[in-house]
Structure 1
Amino acid sequence: MGSVDLYEYFQLLQQLKLYSNVPKDLIYSLQSYTGLVYTSELQNRFSEPMPWIGIYITLASLFCILTMVADLLHGLRNRKLWFPCKYFTLNAASLSVIAVAMKLPMDLNNSMPGDVDQAAKLGSMGFMCSMLSNLLPALATLDSTELVTNIIGLGVLLITLVVNVCIQIKTGVVSNTNVQYWFGVDYYSYKVNSYTQPIAILYVAMLLMLLIIHASSALAIVRSKQILEMKYQAAHETALKAQELQQPGELIVDKIKQHVSNYWIMAATGNPQFFIACSTTSCASGIISAISTLLHVIIILFTVGSLWDFKSDYKWSALVILITQFIGSVVGTMAPLSRCFAALSFKLSIKWIWNNMKSVFNAFGIVVIKEPEQQQTNKIPRHCVLQLQEDTELAERTLERISNSFERLIKKAEKQQPYNLMKLLEGSTGFRNAGKFDSRHVPSLLLEEPLSCWSLPLVTLTTLAISLPNIQKARIDSLLSGVSEGMVYVTTVEENLTATDDHVIIQKAAQTLWLEVEVYQKWLGNKLRKADPQVNTGGQIIMWFRDTAKNMITGQESTDTRGQNENSKFWSISGTSMHRITETILFSHHTRIDKVTDEELFEQVSSMITQILFACLANLPQVIAVKCHSSTIEEREASVYAAAQLLGETMQIINTLQDRELQA
């Protein structure tokens, strides 16, 4: 299109040359503008994608807004009014997205003559202030290396932004007041643009203050984590000693619950994000965010009368950016302001108020001896409350709120108890004979004896149970549902108690085999219940599995059945488990296997399954205690949350296990 306009310009020059009354100097002068016309046409062609770049900026801004909204909803749902950063965090990806969202104030060359263009450029800086205030608690989630790296990256981004805006203030890109005024723009437009430069300077000052706050907070976080870690280890030792004083037979759900509750308090009060949210720097950033949003509102009010005044290369996308980032500024300010008010409520305890009143009284020479008694509204052990400063205690209502959040999680988890698993365990007599599924009289077919575990024999026995003929489908489905729920907890127990490399290999083999059995109703490629047309009875099925497993181990099976070399270890582990279990079942019946009914075999295999489940799930209290304690401070709260969730789901199972132990 641009080349056509240039062509028409040449045609016009040629026509002028035909007229004798046109001065040649004028024609030569018009020819000298050919380069300018060509440059202008190129510039128009190059600026055609700019509105789509504006949409790209909008999408990046929307991503930041949605993650901030997700943090708001997460805080409200969990009643954490200090709104921890779970989704809007500081990392390389988020810094890249933020850099894209800041494209307008970073742009040095494109002029922004329209009111909307100027408002969008300034509004981006206000949006940046809101995002920085939201990102402050996210610093506490980073370890030392990540903290240094990301603070440097954030500092480079902010300094570049500030320098670019200062350059634009100097060159007039931010404010085109003089140019517009001399070209006859109305007074209202002049008034709007006259405020852009002071507001830009205020935004630059606020961005620099936020950078200083983030840098100082990063230094404070490193030291604060060390202090909190020392106090946590001391509280952890106290909790371990208290647990050792308990008798082994007295480990009941109430004591486990109290143990988890103590670690819940330790993790909540020792959360570095919680410390940042209660700090004065968080309050300062919240105030700055509120001021920046107020400036953004002022900009919007001055721009309402000229919402269609966009004259830059971004065209209509400048208005979209302005509206989107204004919404982001408002949304982004809600969390920092809430942290300001929440920080006061967290620290306004009776003792804190009394200590400050005593300071005032002492200043006037009034001696105060008796201190008011604090009513202990909860039974939270004080050694579980981790505080950076000993003279400042959290308010009782704050501790109550933390304790109540634990109770709510337990009650919510209780509604998710594995009912099929509990129904399966009801008919069991316990786990006194749990080892009978693997007889030591069965010779091993491997040079190296595989390690024992719970998940692999559980999957193997379930495979045998659902393969037996003449069993009602409802009973098989009930067994399969119970084992399916039990496998979740069996895997959790093994991951926390037997996490060696050799055990992990067996556990992965069991998980792969279970997926094949549960979903595809197959065992190592063989369709269950249709193993061989000539296999009709339960005893014959047991022998078929034994012979097939033996052939797999000894290598007598064809290479097509055995599979690729990388799967040979998986086949060997699975085949060994099947061979030992089937040999054990056959050995228990000696030569009577043909006379044993399918119902009797199903009951025997089901009993072995429940005994294994009981033996494994008896370790749940130990697993819960292990999950309460995490070595890294950043992951501690999530680990305790998982322990509380596991406790709530398995409380009835633990009670059943203890009842069976007492009966034994």
Structure 2
Amino acid sequence: MSTLEYYVPGVYSHGDCHKIVDSLECGTSSQTQTLEYICSMVDDWEIQGTYSEPMVWIGIYIAVASLLCILAMAADLLHGFWNNKLWFPCKYFSLNAASITVITVTMKLPVDLSSEMPSYMDQAAKLGSLAFMCTMMTNFMPSLAAMDNKTLLANIIGLSILVITMIVNICIDIYTGAIKHINLNLLSVYSSSFDCVVVAYIYMAMILLLLIIMISASLIIPTSKEILEVRYQTRNKTYLTDQHPEHTQRSIVEKLRQHVTRYWVMAETGSPQFVMASIPLSTASAVICGIVLILNLFVVFEVPFGYHGKQKVYGSAYKWSILFIVITQSIGVLVGAIAPIFRCFSVLSFKLVIKWNMIHLMVLEVEEYWTQKLSEWKQSPIHFLSSGRSRTLVYNLKGIIISLCIKLQKVIVISCKGISLIPTVIPIYVVYYWKSVEAMLVTQPDESGTDNTDGDLSNYVLQIHDEMELVETTLMRISNSVNSYILEAEKEQNKDLLELLDKFTGFKGVENFDTDHVQSLLSFEIVNSWSLPIVTLTCIAVALPNIPKDKTKSLLRSVGEGLSYTHQVEENLNCEKEYVNIRKATIILWNEVEHKCKWLDKALQKDDFRGKTTREILKWFSNRANEFVTEFNRSINGEMVQNPPKELIAANSMYRIAETILLRDESNREATTEKQLFALLSGMIADILGACFTNLPRVIIVKCHESVIEKREASVKAAAKLLGKTSKIIERLEACELPSMDPDKMSYVDEWRLYLKQIIP
């Protein structure tokens, strides 16, 4: 037996081979050369084994990245079900730089050209990644409408680069044999030639088609937003001018509920994501996703049930981690397909008006908005060339290219309209069954929150196509969703704040917390906000030593809740620069008072004030504020200050309020006790809060009238929650006699004080 016959791969190392070569003194030259060649092969195998060791961890990394995508898609799915939005807007899983980066990791197998994938498990993992990519692209569809034009262009380009790279690499894998002709035995009944290569071609076609659909959808997004904005402004103007006389006797809360409901319908149906979910392109992508899901199930079921001879289970360098990739991404395909398919059938009722009555027009007609942006680009002039001849040549060439793009866009739209008709060929009884189940799932509107005399809410539905109509069940679902927000928020109303408002005395505290008899310490004026005097008065009340802790804590809780509303009044109605600076400073000051119980870095410990009279306590606050303002005046040396620091704002407010209370205390014959001072301070706080809260209806209306289309839905939702939380407050103030002030002036505390000075002697 020759020396070569003793070599067994995996037994001898390259060092052993070289020792054998050295010992072959009497061997022939051909044997020596052959053994040297084998030694070099062993070297290559060992090097390859060393480099392939980390591939297991890379496989786990791919599975973890896939899991992140699945969790994001599942979060959007749960968010849609929880909020009764069966068009499933993208909130967590949207197309952006971060998601593209994670997807690049999940697509490591399709773009991997260096690793051999010999077993069927490896082939299934590679094909499963393509199916997972199809699912993720379909889920991205609504998120395209939530972007501005520049962001949309950048994200589409990034996705296109990734998709094209994947397709090129898969073609190389097929050419080199990395994707093998392994038959799918579960499909052998239908076709004996249906193997992994055929599946790869199908997936590539689906991915490329989805990319084309996404690019086509991106072209109508700017135009659709313009159409929606025009129709929104038209509905808005109609609503503001069309006020029914029979509704004048309704309460403010009922009017606000009606207002919020109407603008919620406009915000929901006019949401770019809702419109994107309603177009035929989205339905076509959902159909493609369904096909991919079915095909992926056959590929995955082949792993445990298929027959592939005596192949190794894990033949690639990824080893056992390939199983985790297959399982994770198969779950991802299943989870990711739910939202598009549900979206397809939830908007089916929305589209039945067209599909059953205008099917022949749908297939043949391509509305102008599908190609409007391309037409604008075609007609736009060329600015980057100065020569007339070259500019004409480029302009004509651009016209030819865009004309081809317009024709291609029409072909895509017509094709997708045809594909979107597939769900309508489902037997009619299935459609009726779905609608009956849907009607059972829709909660009947609450009588207290539903306006039976509100008119037809369908008048406030916004769509880009004139022939589209929203059916009653979908409209009811939208109306019920805003009612649920209001009802849930009503349960969150703060009892401590309502108890504090019981001390409301009729706006007297608004005029009494400050006086012109106190000389200003500053050479410039600092405006008053609603929140600033409330925080200042609370600081004094918290420092009173003989007030029970439960009353102090209750005051802090109620003031904290009240400030959350005063900040909203200031943010929406006091938009001038000086008020913005005051609001920011007040938020910081209140955080120090609420969480650290400090004012100007001085702890408001009750023990420090124990044994002092109320006058001495007020004098302490006044003196400390005076010292700070005096030191600040010395540092600026008479210069004007554009943005005064928060410490100066707090000190100036404290000095004026403390001195005002001291001046009024001097007019009393008897000294004010701590309980009396606490009651006085609480009453002033309640009066300021009450005056501020008279602006809450205006704040709710302002939030409903959000000008940015992408933020409109969230703004109206915030208005609905604010209405629910403050409904009892608004009802209480409605019973009070409000001053006959200009509504614009009622949003400023200084305007209130000026008005009250004129009517109160």
Q: Do they fold alike, i.e. is TM over 0.5?
A: yes
> For the structure 1 residues 441 and 192, does the alpha-carbon distance in structure 2 shift closer, same or farther, using more than 3 Å as the test?
farther
* CA-CA distance at 1:215 after TM superposition: 0.6
> For the structure 1 residues 533 and 642, does the alpha-carbon distance in structure 2 shift closer, same or farther, using more than 3 Å as the test?
closer
- Whether the aligned pair in 1 keeps the contact of 2:545 and 2:610 (CA below 8 Å) is no
* CA-CA distance at 1:663 after TM superposition: 11
> For the structure 1 residues 118 and 556, does the alpha-carbon distance in structure 2 shift closer, same or farther, using more than 3 Å as the test?
closer
Query: Which stretch of the first structure deviates more once superposed, 317-326 or 476-485?
Result: 476-485
**1:423 is matched with which residue?**
499
- Whether the aligned pair in 2 keeps the contact of 1:270 and 1:387 (CA below 8 Å) is yes
**1:35 is matched with which residue?**
40
**2:82 is matched with which residue?**
77
**1:88 is matched with which residue?**
93
- Whether the aligned pair in 2 keeps the contact of 1:52 and 1:317 (CA below 8 Å) is yes
Query: What per-residue deviation string (whole Å, max 9, x for no partner) do you get for residues 178-210 of structure 1?
Result: 9xxxxxxxxx9xx99971100000011111110
Is 1:544 the counterpart of 2:604? The answer is: no
> For the structure 1 residues 340 and 566, does the alpha-carbon distance in structure 2 shift closer, same or farther, using more than 3 Å as the test?
same
2:63 to 58, 83, 98: 58
Is 1:144 the counterpart of 2:220? The answer is: no
**2:21 is matched with which residue?**
13
* CA-CA distance at 1:330 after TM superposition: 0.6
One-letter code aligned to 2:268: A
* CA-CA distance at 1:227 after TM superposition: 0.6
Query: Which stretch of the first structure deviates more once superposed, 93-102 or 292-301?
Result: 292-301
* CA-CA distance at 1:61 after TM superposition: 0.4
Is 1:451 the counterpart of 2:527? The answer is: yes
**1:438 is matched with which residue?**
514
> For the structure 1 residues 398 and 176, does the alpha-carbon distance in structure 2 shift closer, same or farther, using more than 3 Å as the test?
closer
**2:703 is matched with which residue?**
627
| Residues 105-184 of structure 1: pairs in structure 2 closer than 5 A | 105-175=110-180
- Whether the aligned pair in 2 keeps the contact of 1:545 and 1:582 (CA below 8 Å) is yes
> For the structure 1 residues 193 and 519, does the alpha-carbon distance in structure 2 shift closer, same or farther, using more than 3 Å as the test?
farther
- Whether the aligned pair in 2 keeps the contact of 1:58 and 1:321 (CA below 8 Å) is yes
- Whether the aligned pair in 1 keeps the contact of 2:497 and 2:559 (CA below 8 Å) is yes
2:350 to 331, 341, 346: 346
**2:732 is matched with which residue?**
656
Counterpart secondary structure, 2:545: coil
Query: Which stretch of the first structure deviates more once superposed, 5-14 or 479-488?
Result: 5-14
* CA-CA distance at 1:388 after TM superposition: 1.6
| Residues 294-305 of structure 1: pairs in structure 2 closer than 5 A | 294-305=294-305
One-letter code aligned to 1:649: K
2:317 to 294, 313, 317: 313
> For the structure 1 residues 9 and 253, does the alpha-carbon distance in structure 2 shift closer, same or farther, using more than 3 Å as the test?
same
Separation in 1, partners of 2:270, 2:19: 79
**2:750 is matched with which residue?**
none
1:603 to 674, 679, 696: 679
Separation in 2, partners of 1:73, 1:246: 42
| Residues 489-508 of structure 1: pairs in structure 2 closer than 5 A | 489-508=565-584
> For the structure 1 residues 308 and 596, does the alpha-carbon distance in structure 2 shift closer, same or farther, using more than 3 Å as the test?
farther
Separation in 1, partners of 2:704, 2:270: 14
* CA-CA distance at 1:283 after TM superposition: 1.2
> For the structure 1 residues 163 and 352, does the alpha-carbon distance in structure 2 shift closer, same or farther, using more than 3 Å as the test?
closer
* CA-CA distance at 1:81 after TM superposition: 1.1
- Whether the aligned pair in 2 keeps the contact of 1:462 and 1:480 (CA below 8 Å) is yes
One-letter code aligned to 1:448: F
Separation in 1, partners of 2:194, 2:241: 70
> For the structure 1 residues 492 and 243, does the alpha-carbon distance in structure 2 shift closer, same or farther, using more than 3 Å as the test?
farther
**2:282 is matched with which residue?**
282
User: Aligned-pair RMSD on alpha carbons?
Assistant: 3.1
Query: What per-residue deviation string (whole Å, max 9, x for no partner) do you get for residues 47-106 of structure 1?
Result: 110011111111110011000000110011011111111110010000111111001001
One-letter code aligned to 2:603: K
* CA-CA distance at 1:447 after TM superposition: 1.1
Separation in 2, partners of 1:663, 1:54: 71
- Whether the aligned pair in 2 keeps the contact of 1:192 and 1:302 (CA below 8 Å) is no
Separation in 2, partners of 1:256, 1:42: 74
One-letter code aligned to 2:198: P
Counterpart secondary structure, 2:511: helix
- Whether the aligned pair in 2 keeps the contact of 1:352 and 1:392 (CA below 8 Å) is no
- Whether the aligned pair in 1 keeps the contact of 2:182 and 2:195 (CA below 8 Å) is no
> For the structure 1 residues 533 and 518, does the alpha-carbon distance in structure 2 shift closer, same or farther, using more than 3 Å as the test?
closer
Counterpart secondary structure, 1:390: coil
> For the structure 1 residues 644 and 330, does the alpha-carbon distance in structure 2 shift closer, same or farther, using more than 3 Å as the test?
same
Is 1:641 the counterpart of 2:717? The answer is: yes
**Structure 2 unaligned blocks of 5 or more:** 1-9, 363-451, 636-640, 741-761
One-letter code aligned to 1:161: M
- Whether the aligned pair in 2 keeps the contact of 1:468 and 1:537 (CA below 8 Å) is no
**1:239 is matched with which residue?**
239
> For the structure 1 residues 533 and 3, does the alpha-carbon distance in structure 2 shift closer, same or farther, using more than 3 Å as the test?
farther
Separation in 2, partners of 1:110, 1:240: 66
TM-score by length of 1: 0.89
Separation in 2, partners of 1:571, 1:533: 22
| Residues 326-365 of structure 1: pairs in structure 2 closer than 5 A | 326-348=330-352
**2:102 is matched with which residue?**
97
One-letter code aligned to 1:5: S
Separation in 1, partners of 2:669, 2:608: 18
**1:364 is matched with which residue?**
none
| Residues 178-577 of structure 1: pairs in structure 2 closer than 5 A | 195-242=195-242, 252-305=252-305, 309-348=313-352, 379-530=455-606, 532=608, 536-555=612-631, 569-577=645-653
One-letter code aligned to 2:596: Y
Query: Which stretch of the first structure deviates more once superposed, 231-240 or 4-13?
Result: 4-13
* CA-CA distance at 1:557 after TM superposition: 12
Query: What per-residue deviation string (whole Å, max 9, x for no partner) do you get for residues 467-503 of structure 1?
Result: 1132222222221211111111111111111133221
- Whether the aligned pair in 1 keeps the contact of 2:545 and 2:606 (CA below 8 Å) is no
* CA-CA distance at 1:532 after TM superposition: 4.5
Separation in 1, partners of 2:352, 2:481: 20
**2:749 is matched with which residue?**
none
Separation in 2, partners of 1:546, 1:531: 19
Separation in 2, partners of 1:316, 1:520: 55
> For the structure 1 residues 308 and 423, does the alpha-carbon distance in structure 2 shift closer, same or farther, using more than 3 Å as the test?
farther
* Identical-pair percentage: 45
* CA-CA distance at 1:639 after TM superposition: 0.6
Counterpart secondary structure, 2:13: helix
**2:666 is matched with which residue?**
590
One-letter code aligned to 1:314: Y
> For the structure 1 residues 581 and 531, does the alpha-carbon distance in structure 2 shift closer, same or farther, using more than 3 Å as the test?
farther
Separation in 2, partners of 1:567, 1:552: 17
- Whether the aligned pair in 1 keeps the contact of 2:181 and 2:196 (CA below 8 Å) is no
Separation in 1, partners of 2:68, 2:708: 29
Query: Which stretch of the first structure deviates more once superposed, 445-454 or 549-558?
Result: 549-558
Separation in 2, partners of 1:65, 1:156: 22
* CA-CA distance at 1:632 after TM superposition: 1.3
> For the structure 1 residues 12 and 50, does the alpha-carbon distance in structure 2 shift closer, same or farther, using more than 3 Å as the test?
same
